[in-house]
C-alpha cells in the first residue's frame, strides 16, 4: 500500500485507514475532520482522545456509546458533579476503558471546565486552528504529522489552564477529529475542499 487514497467498494477514493474496518467507513466519511463546536461536544472529543492515548482509535470508537452512557453524555456540568461513588462505578464499567489516570483526568477536567464561561473551551480550542490556506492536502499517510506547532501550543494552553492528559499528540488528534485541520488525503471523497 502506498498510503495514498484508495477506492472503496463504491469506487470513491478514501484514506486507507477509512476502509480498514467497517466501523471506520461512516466515521471517516461523515465525522472525522468535520468542524465540531460547543463546549460539551469538544469536551467529549477531548476525553475520548485522552482515553485513546496508547490505544487504537477503533477501540474507543467501538466503546463510544458506552463512554457516553458512563459519562452522562459528556455534559460538563453533569460530569463535574460526579462524586467518589461515580468514580468507583466508572472504574468498574466494562463498557469503557477503565484506566484510573484517564478517569481521574476526565473528572478533574470536567470540574475545572464547569467554572469556565459558556463558549470558552470552544473559543480556546478553535483559536489554535491553523490557516487552511497555508496547508496543502497530504498525498500520502506519511505526509500527515502526529504533532504540529499548533497542537503543541494548544496542549500548552490547555495545560496552563489546568487541564490534564492532553499532550501535543493528543491535541493534534483532537484537531484532526474536530475539523481544525483537514488531513483527509488528496483525492479523498471526504476532504472538506472536495477531492
* Dihedrals phi, psi of 6, to nearest 5 degrees: -125, 155
- The owner of cell 500500500 is 1
Coil, strand or helix at 71: coil
Chain Cα centroid distance, residue 181 = 12
Q: What angle do CA 148, 128, 153 make, to 5 degrees?
A: 50
DSSP-H helix ranges across 37-166: 39-52, 57-61, 64-70, 76-80, 84-92, 100-113, 120-126, 149-160
Residue 138 grid coordinates: 497530504
Helix (H) or strand (E) holding 13: strand 13-14
DSSP-H helix ranges across 1-83: 22-30, 39-52, 57-61, 64-70, 76-80
Q: Which residues are known to be catalytic?
A: 27, 49, 57
Amino acid at each position: 500500500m502506498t498510503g495514498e487514497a484508495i477506492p472503496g467498494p463504491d469506487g470513491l477514493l478514501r484514506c486507507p485507514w477509512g476502509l480498514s474496518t467497517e466501523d471506520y467507513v461512516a466515521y471517516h466519511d461523515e465525522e472525522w475532520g468535520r468542524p465540531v463546536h460547543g463546549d460539551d461536544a469538544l469536551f467529549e472529543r477531548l476525553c475520548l482522545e485522552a482515553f485513546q492515548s496508547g490505544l487504537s482509535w477503533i477501540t474507543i470508537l467501538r466503546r463510544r456509546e458506552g463512554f457516553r452512557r458512563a459519562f452522562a453524555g459528556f455534559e460538563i456540568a453533569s460530569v463535574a458533579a460526579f462524586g467518589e461513588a461515580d468514580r468507583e462505578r466508572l472504574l468498574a464499567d466494562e463498557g469503557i476503558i477503565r484506566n484510573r489516570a484517564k478517569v481521574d483526568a476526565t473528572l478533574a477536567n470536567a470540574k475545572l471546565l464547569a467554572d469556565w464561561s459558556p463558549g470558552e473551551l470552544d473559543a480556546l480550542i478553535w483559536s489554535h486552528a491553523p490557516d487552511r490556506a497555508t496547508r496543502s492536502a497530504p498525498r500520502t499517510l506519511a505526509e500527515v504529522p502526529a504533532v504540529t506547532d499548533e497542537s503543541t501550543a494548544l496542549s500548552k494552553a490547555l495545560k496552563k489552564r489546568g487541564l490534564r492528559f492532553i499532550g501535543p499528540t493528543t491535541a493534534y488528534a483532537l484537531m484532526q477529529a474536530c475539523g481544525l485541520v483537514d488531513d483527509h488525503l488528496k483525492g479523498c471523497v471526504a476532504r472538506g475542499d472536495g477531492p
